[in-house]
């Protein structure tokens, strides 16, 4: 059979790692398989041409919060153009409510609910026909038995895009707003040696890419097993490579040995993303997130000190118990560390998470459709969230894009903190009709000068 695996990514630079694993399952069952990747800004007709012109025997589509609306709009057209193709859906958006999808689109053949490799292997071995089993829920094989996702022919397609790599799946933490906190997401990992052998295969191709790659680990908490993480970091720090490796880490798990190792890593080799989310302990407890801010802050400050590792800090607005004052405290604390990047996100109430069940208790209203973002809760009104969204854009333009540190510090000094400074800028932007998303340095600088004047 000829099978097409279609992924619609949020950006051109992204790739759908899951499709590479599933493609391998299909190939080893003796079928032909092609990965077709698109991005959400592409015209729908281009996607239909890519998927349907060759009338594959089976079409697999993965559905996430960023592409669910597009997939819904494409499905009837795909079915009209390829009425004989078997249609299989997977991914968190389809897997959470497969019955509703099948009712809405009765021409769908199967929906894979949960992790996909084992289910897709069974489906492929059956010739994509499992009568009476339209919803496939299968316990997956252990992650260590799932091989390297890429084949040599894949690497050219990853030019100028992130090269995603996964050395562990699942997460040991249980944050109530996160899909990785579910019971079926227990932490599983490849040992350091296996991971390094796989990474060497990526690096062996490196010189052929037009620019040095960013190898993005999708591990939810890369250093959940500190010794394993340290061995991988040590080897990557010494590798002959121009690549940058991106990791999501938990700062409180860093030990003295890590700091000593990390301060000797070549500049630009590593990027760390750290989900601070909030500095307010009660809010973190309310979402079951384990983070002692005082300890995390010390670790982040130490990571930042040598200046060789790019550090990206995330916060989330909309956590239970957090009004504007608490959101402000988080912004002030994060900005005072002067990380390289700050991302202020908004709570999402994803189907299948514990938070979704507690929404009423927190007075939480959220978008009915993906991305399920918060609209208000007992502590923040829609109006407050609007101001916070403007602040998020201003943090991005003033700090992330242009690092206008002198101007920002002057304004924070005058207003009594960074959050107040950004609030003052957001109000000024509203009065002037200034677009807070502007990232052009000249315009941002002039806007700040006006605000300071």
**Segment near ligand SF4 (CB under 6 A); pick from 69-77, 90-98, 177-185, 347-355:** 177-185
Q: Distance between CA 422 and CA 375 in Å, rounded? A: 21
Our CB check for ligand SF4 shows the closer of 341 and 381 to be 341
Largest CA distance in the chain: 72
- Note whether 220 binds ligand SF4 by CB under 6 A: yes
Beta-ladder partners of 33:
3
Our CB check for ligand SF4 shows the closer of 95 and 417 to be 95
Our CB check for ligand SF4 shows the closer of 24 and 221 to be 221
Planar angle of CA 157, 159, 160, nearest 5 degrees: 135
- Note whether 178 binds ligand SF4 by CB under 6 A: yes
Burial class (CB in 10 A: 0-12, 13-18, 19+), 311: buried
- Note whether 221 binds ligand SF4 by CB under 6 A: yes
Residue 1: C-alpha distances to residues 31, 89, 114 (Å)? 5, 17, 24
Among 109, 140, 180, 400, binds ligand SF4 (CB under 6 A): 180
Nearest distance, CB of residue 234 and ligand SF4, angstroms: 24
SS3 call for 148: coil
Nearest distance, CB of residue 248 and ligand SF4, angstroms: 7
Nearest distance, CB of residue 220 and ligand SF4, angstroms: 3
Nearest distance, CB of residue 172 and ligand SF4, angstroms: 7
User: Scanning residues 253 to 292, which ones bind ligand SF4 (CB under 6 A)?
Assistant: 275, 289
Q: Distance between CA 169 and CA 433 in Å, rounded? A: 45
Nearest distance, CB of residue 388 and ligand SF4, angstroms: 20
Residue 245: C-alpha distances to residues 19, 232, 252, 261, 427 (Å)? 21, 11, 20, 15, 38
Nearest distance, CB of residue 181 and ligand SF4, angstroms: 4
Our CB check for ligand SF4 shows the closer of 216 and 220 to be 220
Among 16, 181, 223, 397, binds ligand SF4 (CB under 6 A): 181
- Note whether 315 binds ligand SF4 by CB under 6 A: no
Contact pattern from residue 144 through residue 173 relative to ligand SF4, giving x for each residue in contact according to CB under 6 A and a dash for the rest:
---------------------------x-x
Q: Distance between CA 89 and CA 135 in Å, rounded? A: 10
Q: Within 13 A of 220's CA, how many CA atoms are on the CB side?
A: 17
C-beta neighbour count of 183 within 10 angstroms: 6
User: Scanning residues 56 to 115, which ones bind ligand SF4 (CB under 6 A)?
Assistant: none
- The H-or-E segment that residue 142 falls in is none
Q: Which residue bears the tokens 């709570």?
A: 347
Nearest distance, CB of residue 414 and ligand SF4, angstroms: 36
Kindly state the number of chain residues that form the binding site for ligand SF4, as judged by CB under 6 A.
Answer: 11
The DSSP secondary structure of 377-404, one letter per residue, reads -SS--HHHHHHHHHHHHHIIIIIIIT--
**Which residues of this protein are in contact with ligand SF4, per CB under 6 A?**
171, 173-175, 178, 180-181, 220-221, 275, 289
């Amino acid at each position: 059979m000829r099978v097409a695996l279609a992924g619609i990514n949020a950006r051109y630079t992204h790739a759908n790692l899951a499709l590479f694993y599933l493609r391998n399952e299909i190939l080893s069952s003796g079928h032909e398989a092609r990965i077709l990747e698109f991005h959400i800004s592409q015209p729908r007709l281009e996607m239909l041409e890519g998927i349907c012109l060759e009338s594959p025997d089976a079409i697999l589509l993965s559905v996430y919060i960023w592409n669910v609306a597009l997939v819904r709009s494409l499905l009837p057209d795909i079915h009209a153009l390829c009425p004989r193709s078997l249609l299989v859906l997977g991914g968190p958006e389809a897997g959470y409510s497969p019955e509703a999808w099948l009712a809405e689109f009765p021409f769908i053949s199967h929906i894979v609910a949960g992790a996909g490799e084992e289910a897709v292997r069974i489906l492929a071995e059956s010739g994509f026909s499992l009568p009476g089993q339209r919803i496939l829920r299968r316990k997956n094989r252990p992650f260590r038995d799932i091989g390297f996702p890429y084949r040599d022919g894949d690497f050219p397609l990853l030019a100028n895009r992130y090269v995603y790599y996964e050395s562990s799946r699942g997460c040991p933490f249980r944050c109530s707003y996160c899909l990785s906190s579910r019971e079926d997401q227990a932490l599983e990992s490849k040992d350091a040696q296996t991971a390094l052998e796989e990474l060497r295969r990526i690096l062996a191709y490196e010189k052929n890419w037009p620019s040095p790659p960013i190898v993005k680990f999708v591990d939810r908490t890369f250093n959940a097993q500190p010794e394993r993480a340290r061995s991988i970091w040590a080897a990557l720090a010494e590798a002959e490579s121009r690549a940058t490796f991106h990791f999501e880490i938990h700062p409180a798990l860093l030990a003295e040995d890590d700091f000593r190792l990390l301060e000797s890593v070549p500049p630009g080799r590593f990027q760390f993303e750290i989900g601070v989310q909030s500095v307010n302990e009660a809010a973190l407890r309310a979402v079951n997130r384990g983070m002692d801010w005082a300890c995390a802050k010390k670790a982040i400050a130490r990571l930042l000190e040598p200046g060789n590792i790019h550090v990206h800090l995330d916060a989330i607005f909309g956590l239970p118990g957090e009004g504007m004052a608490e959101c402000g405290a988080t912004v002030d604390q994060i900005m005072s560390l002067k990380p390289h990047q700050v991302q202020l996100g908004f709570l999402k109430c994803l189907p299948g998470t514990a938070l979704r069940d507690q929404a009423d208790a927190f007075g939480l209203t959220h978008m009915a459709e993906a991305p399920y973002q918060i609209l208000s809760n007992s502590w923040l009104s829609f109006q407050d969230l609007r101001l916070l969204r403007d602040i998020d854009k201003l943090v991005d333009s003033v700090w992330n894009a242009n690092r206008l540190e002198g101007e920002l510090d002057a304004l924070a000094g005058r207003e009594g903190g960074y959050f107040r400074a950004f609030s003052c800028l957001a109000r000024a932007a509203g009065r002037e009709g200034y677009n807070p998303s502007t990232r052009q340095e000249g315009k941002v600088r002039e806007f700040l000068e006006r605000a300071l004047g």
